[in-house]
Chains A and B, each alone.
Chain A
Amino acid sequence: MRVVEKRQLLSAEEISRTLSRLAHEIVEKSGGAHDLALIGVRRRGVPLSQRLAAAIKGFAKIDVPVGTLDITLYRDDLSTVGSQPVVQSTDIDFVVDDRDLVIVDDVLYTGRTVRAAMNGLFDLGRPKRVRLLVLIDRGHRELPIEATFIGKTIQTSDTEIIEVRLKEVDNEERVVLVDRVP
């Protein structure tokens, strides 16, 4: 099995414009954003959430708290994955009770990661509302989960993989569609 790049879905500049639009949408749909907090899902949700918070600070002058969530302990596939995932820290240094939370992740696919993230968040308290923001929605849901804020929707086959590469993690900034070929 070989992995080949099929096409680029977003350039660095497009990622930047998309995040800027999403930041405006969050504020617009949050009635002032005062109870708002962003929860970045490890790993690539974390830099995305930080960039969104910086953007909101830039145009709305609001400091939105940002937390980091590690979902490893909440995964439902631990007994089937190839190697045991390493648990990382969850850093949410504000109380989630009565907060208006937006979970931030790079790609929405089966919905299982989001299910795990919600379980993790509800172990920390009772948020007022939880919404989801993703950079890419690629379909193929296995759970009744949809995103409120979507950067770009893409039709994919289930052998294809979306790779979001962010400079903070990957030293590169673009989104590509790759495929597995025998």
Chain B
Amino acid sequence: MLQRLPHLLGIESLSREQIEFFLDQAKPFQEFQRHPLKKLATLRGKTVAIAFFEASTRTRISFTTAASRLGADTMALQAEASSLKKGESLMDTVRTLEAMKADAIVMRHASSGAPHFVAERLEIPVLNAGDGTHEHPTQALLDALTIRDRKGRLEGLNITILGDILHSRVARSNIHLLSKFSVQITLCGPSMWVPREVEGLAPKIRRALCMEEALEGADVVMTLRVQTERIHEPALAPDEYIGGYQLTPQRLRCAKPDALVMHPGPMIRGLEIDDAVADGPQSCVLEQVTNGLAVRMALLYHLVGGPPADAPHPAKD
């Protein structure tokens, strides 16, 4: 039995046991996605604020759907259509949501550390749905769940992450998670996006100079989106990226024949990934999406379900 977490801010601070607990807790919710009637009353009467200060489609819809399937109501805040446009501060915005009696805040923000800043100042749980170039913990958990389902384990796998590692919170959270399970992690991408410093993120990380070397013997290949919004100067022409780093069927043949191909979405087909790979038999992109719902339901149940974290425990029979 795991001590309840007050927030979910990142993977780096979680223990291997905590991660395994969440992966195990996601199993019943995976099965729930196959039910004909996908509506529980477990969190009935609870309200989850979905505060996205940065654009998102799938993560926002996934969290909203996860909350709704657990029976919670949601308050949606979208940066483009909110008082933020009028100059309201982050703390005033989230305090307003708390004053409306939200039971938790799911938050995405372009600044690294924003959810940690908010969590220290609010009484309710904060779930990080992506902060700047820092962490995207639920993505790493759903990726690990997908890998564990397909490969039966995480330990000892060779996992290659391709693309813009430096600016990717998905890569960072995945590296933190996988390194706790003794995964051999190989990183590959244009050198300015895979600087030497990334090797210091965790033990057992190596950088590969070319795709062929990076993919050799890989059990899992994670491609990342080329994030134009986080890169301020055009660092590399698309043609150069495609020529050097696009995941093509030919390159994928360097990996193990049963290697999984993963992508956190949204995919830019024809840039970081070729159509034939994205739609090929090794791709588990859509499975990742479904697993995302299960992971987020498990986390919302953990953080929002049950008694308040600081409630005195009544006598048990």
Contact = CB atoms under 8 A, between A and B. Distances in A.
B271 to A, nearest CB: 39
B41 A74 contact: yes
A112 B307 CA distance: 19
B39 interface: yes
A171 B262 CA distance: 44
A84 B314 contact: no
Nearest to B37: A123
Contact of B316 (A70, A82, A87, A91): A82
A161 B4 CA distance: 28
B307 A81 contact: yes
Interface SS, A side: loop
B314 A80 contact: yes
A177 to B, nearest CB: 14
A22 B299 CA distance: 41
B1 A124 contact: no
B232 interface: no
Interface string A50-78: 00000000000000000000100110001
B6 interface: no
A78 B36 contact: no
Contacts of A161: 317
Interface in A119-152: 119, 122-125
Q: Give the contact-size bracket for chain B.
A: 20 to 34
A85 B4 CA distance: 11
Contact of B29 (A87, A119, A123, A124): A87
A167 to B, nearest CB: 24
A119 B44 CA distance: 14
A87 B28 contact: yes
B147 to A, nearest CB: 19
Interface in A149-169: 161
A91 B34 CA distance: 12
Interface residues of A, number: 25
Contacts of B37: 122-124
A180 B305 CA distance: 29
A87 B41 contact: no
Contact of B305 (A82, A84, A89, A119): A84
A78 B1 contact: no
A70 B39 CA distance: 16
B306 A84 contact: yes
B1 A86 contact: yes
A82 B314 contact: yes
Interface in B25-39: 25, 27-29, 31-32, 35-37, 39
Contacts of B302: 84
A89 B307 contact: no
Interface string B36-57: 1101111000000000000000
A18 interface: no
A73 B314 contact: no
Contact of A124 (B25, B35, B316): B35
A74 B28 contact: no
Given A70-B28, A87-B28, A87-B298, A123 B39 contact: yes
> Which 4 interchain pairs have the tightest Cβ spacing?
A84-B306, A82-B313, A123-B37, A73-B42
Interface of A: 1, 70, 73-74, 78-91, 119, 122-125, 161, 180
10 contacts: A70-B28, A74-B42, A78-B42, A78-B306, A79-B307, A82-B316, A84-B306, A87-B29, A88-B28, A89-B28
